[in-house]
Amino acid sequence: MTKSTFIFLLLLPFFSLAQTFPDTFNLPIPDDGTIGYYDIEVSGLPTATGPDFGVETVCINLTHTWNADLVISVIAPDGTEAELTSDNGGDTDGYLNTCFNANAAQGIWEVGWPYTGTFRPEGFMSVFQNGQDPNGTWRLKIRDTYPFADEGILFNWSVTFGPNPPTPYPFFSSTLPILKITTSGQVIPNEVKITANLQIIDNPGQTNFVTDPANGYDGQISIEQRGNSSGWMPKKSFNFETQQPDGSNNNVTLLDMPAENDWVLLANYSDKTLMRNYLAQTIYEKMGRYGPRMRHCELVIDGEYRGIYVLGERIKRDSQRVDIAKLNPDENSGEDLTGGYIIKIDWQNGANLGGFSSQFYQINNTDNPLYYQYHYPKADEITQPQANYIASYVDSFEQAMHGPNFQDPELGWRRFASEKSFTDFILLYELSNNVDAYWLSTFFYKDKNGKLKAGPPWDFDLAFNNADYSEGSSTAGWRHNWLANNTGLLPFFWQRIWQDAAFAKQAACRWQELRDGALHPDSLQAIIADRADVLDGPQAENFTLWDIIGVWVWPNVQPLPQSYAEEIERLQGWVAARAAWMDVNLPVGDCSPVSAVGETEAAWNNVRVTPNPFNEKLRVAGPSHFNLRLTTALGEVVWEAFNFEKEATVETSSLLPGCYWLTATSDGRVWSRLVLKQ
């Protein structure tokens, strides 16, 4: 490809003038999964960038039939990269006469298409002012993140140098811990991890300075962007793993959280209290449940201050996180096969998610069945028997919940699911009125020989009065009812469970217990007030960089608070009002202790079942005299026989694949176990 160079010089010293280097390409933007690079040769400039000379503006002209698929950045001769735009524009077509300058009045993410004009880029162009020689090859990098769907053409682009380049935000210290990530000039991409270095400065009770030596961690990480609805926002969130120099896992303690290697950095850009995710997980912890631990910190990437973030645990099987049994690839039968598993309901991005479809649909939605994604084991690690087992178990839970005997303490849904875990999970999501509740970022887990449990909770950016749609700002009404009546998004069991009179009583009594203790009105307010005290000083720096207090950011509720203090006051007032509404609308009658039917597993000390999973036959070894019964998830008897002597063979060739309950009785004793027909 022939490259041309055009240097625009006036008859004055170029040190005081802008110099633009354009090129014309008229070349296609790759749509086959590869990255397009478009080069401009720059020459005749001073040999070093700095605060008084460097890149001021980059302009692009291109067409593409789905703008949101594009990630566009600029790469300097030394390899340093700055992102211009990503995930913006939805299905609009192209960037025509679109320029990027750090001093522009609006960010590219704040305006709608057409993008004609000058806007702030999503990345930090000040990274180019690192003393490098700007003479050489500058590259425009375009990646289409959804291959083989939409096409485009780059007409031309240009880079302008001058005496007013952007410089890094002057950040020096904080009372919060400081995380410093060094990428060697790489842009952190989405869904593809890069290797970087992380340093943590944490001196509790003292001011931390960016020049202090690292004392919380200093080592290799692999890092990528994260987020769906937040992916287009300029303050990016990240996943990262702590690693040994050879790339293997490095389980470490970060900011006093238990040692692990999988972590998140949450940006909380639209949440101007900076604490909604922290608040939800703290509430859940006070309810006696595990929710990912979170710590506030300051983030610096390649010398650029990025603001206040939340460092937190990723949802993962671990003795200090989701404490379920490890499931190895060779555990494909019997008791080993029963756990542990983590599954989720979430965005279905991409064709090869890995998971299974339900036999049921969301309420008022007959287009696509409910879909469960594998979280642990991962889709590329779960074996076929394991996949069959968890799919059959969830189907049994759904069949029982949907069936006529769903309220029965022995034949209903409690046979497969933990009532207490579902109760606490629902109460948290209803208290927060999370618009994503029940249908996004919704996790379940199952331990070995255990029941299905709801949780851990995740993703509360759009909760606690931070969504101006779907009644997200209302302190009244049940979130599950709103979803059922106004969308096709609610999995049926979240509403069906409230039709169980015993569950409704359990939920009301549990709420009263919490309001008398962990979630007492004063306790709820104290969580917010205490965290606001911690953030009050550092937040000023964050909102100087991200000047959005009093500015609408999707999907903030209006009218907008005009200060950080007002943001906190609004959150406190809303939480108090929401909890008070639940006090009135969860009427409590008799809350005497309820029988724990279905909450414990029956003993199997004297009964052995092989094989499990089974195909044509199931063999049972038991006590001297016993009777056997095989029932479906709904309690329908499909096989029954009596008076066996120590051993029995069950002919199962006529049974459909799925989960069944095998029950043995002998001398008034009862054994029960879930078995899987493949």
Classify residue 542: in a domain, yes or no. yes
The H helix count followed by the E strand count for the chain is 9, 32
Classify residue 2: in a domain, yes or no. no
Residues 555 and 646 in one domain: no
Classify residue 5: in a domain, yes or no. no
- At 368, the amino acid letter reads N
Average pLDDT, the chain: 90
Q: Judge contact between 188 and 81, C-beta under 8 A.
A: no
Helix, strand, coil % in the chain, rounded to nearest 5: 20, 30, 45
Flag whether pLDDT at 44 surpasses 50: yes
pLDDT digits (tens, 9 = 90+) for 375-412: 999 999 999 999 999 999 999 999 999 999 999 988 89
Residues 672 and 540 in one domain: no
Per-residue DSSP letters for 619-670?
Answer: EEE-SSSEEEEEE-TT--EEEEEEEEBSEEEEE-TTSPSEEEEEEEEETTEE
Q: How confident is residue 598, by pLDDT bands cut at 50, 70 and 90?
A: very low
Classify residue 452: in a domain, yes or no. yes
| Residue 14: per-residue pLDDT | 42
**CA 645 from centroid of its chain's CA atoms:** 54
Classify residue 653: in a domain, yes or no. yes
**CA 380 from centroid of its chain's CA atoms:** 20
Q: Judge contact between 466 and 554, C-beta under 8 A.
A: no
Residues 353 and 498 in one domain: yes
Provide the 8-state DSSP code for 462. Answer: T
Using the 3D structure, point to which of 111, 132, 162 is the last residue of a domain.
162
pLDDT digits (tens, 9 = 90+) for 19-39: 999 999 999 999 998 999 999
CA gap 521, 500 in Å, rounded:
28
Flag whether pLDDT at 93 surpasses 60: yes
Flag whether pLDDT at 11 surpasses 70: no
Kindly state the average pLDDT of the residues 352-361.
89
pLDDT digits (tens, 9 = 90+) for 462-514: 999 999 999 999 999 999 999 999 999 999 999 999 999 899 999 999 999 99
Residues 343 and 416 in one domain: yes
| Residue 632: per-residue pLDDT | 78
| Residue 603: per-residue pLDDT | 39
Residues 6+ apart with CB under 8 A from 65: 91, 93, 150, 151, 152
Kindly state the average pLDDT of the residues 349-356.
73
Kindly state the average pLDDT of the residues 185-198.
89
CA gap 570, 549 in Å, rounded:
13
Q: How many CA atoms lie within 13 Å of 540's alpha carbon, on the beta-carbon side? A: 6
Using the 3D structure, point to which of 481, 507, 533 is the last residue of a domain.
507
Using the 3D structure, point to which of 283, 313, 343 is the last residue of a domain.
313
Between 55-59, 392-396, 455-459, 611-615, the lowest mean confidence (pLDDT) is in: 611-615
Residues 491 and 617 in one domain: no
| Residue 634: per-residue pLDDT | 64
pLDDT digits (tens, 9 = 90+) for 111-126: 989 999 999 999 999 9
Residue 570 token pair: 């609004």
| Residue 548: per-residue pLDDT | 95
Q: How confident is residue 596, by pLDDT bands cut at 50, 70 and 90?
A: very low
Kindly state the average pLDDT of the residues 128-148.
94
Q: How confident is residue 637, by pLDDT bands cut at 50, 70 and 90?
A: confident
Between 219-223, 333-337, 620-624, 632-636, the lowest mean confidence (pLDDT) is in: 632-636
Q: How confident is residue 352, by pLDDT bands cut at 50, 70 and 90?
A: low
Residues 416 and 456 in one domain: yes
Residues 396 and 478 in one domain: yes
Q: Label the pairing between strands 341-345 and 442-446.
A: antiparallel
Residues 230 and 355 in one domain: no
Residue 42 token pair: 């720059």
Between 81-85, 420-424, 527-531, the lowest mean confidence (pLDDT) is in: 81-85
Kindly state the average pLDDT of the residues 342-362.
86
Q: How confident is residue 5, by pLDDT bands cut at 50, 70 and 90?
A: very low
Residues 615 and 669 in one domain: yes
Kindly state the average pLDDT of the residues 641-654.
83
CA gap 415, 451 in Å, rounded:
8
Classify residue 601: in a domain, yes or no. no
| Residue 104: per-residue pLDDT | 94
Residues 632 and 557 in one domain: no
Q: Label the pairing between strands 95-100 and 117-119.
A: parallel
Classify residue 320: in a domain, yes or no. no
| Residue 9: per-residue pLDDT | 35
Residue 561 is part of which domain span?
521-585
Residues 84 and 215 in one domain: no
Residues 177 and 157 in one domain: no
pLDDT digits (tens, 9 = 90+) for 105-114: 999 988 989 9
Flag whether pLDDT at 350 surpasses 90: no
CATH classification of the domain holding 83: 2.60.120.260
pLDDT digits (tens, 9 = 90+) for 250-293: 999 999 999 999 999 999 999 999 999 999 999 999 999 999 99
Looking at the 3D structure of the chain, how many domains does it have? 5
Q: How confident is residue 610, by pLDDT bands cut at 50, 70 and 90?
A: confident
Flag whether pLDDT at 346 surpasses 60: yes
Classify residue 643: in a domain, yes or no. yes
The structure's pTM equals 0.85
Kindly state the average pLDDT of the residues 333-338.
94
Q: How confident is residue 635, by pLDDT bands cut at 50, 70 and 90?
A: low
Q: What are phi and psi of 535, to 5 degrees?
A: -90, -10
Q: How confident is residue 606, by pLDDT bands cut at 50, 70 and 90?
A: low
Residue 400 token pair: 């029982």
CATH classification of the domain holding 627: 2.60.40.1220
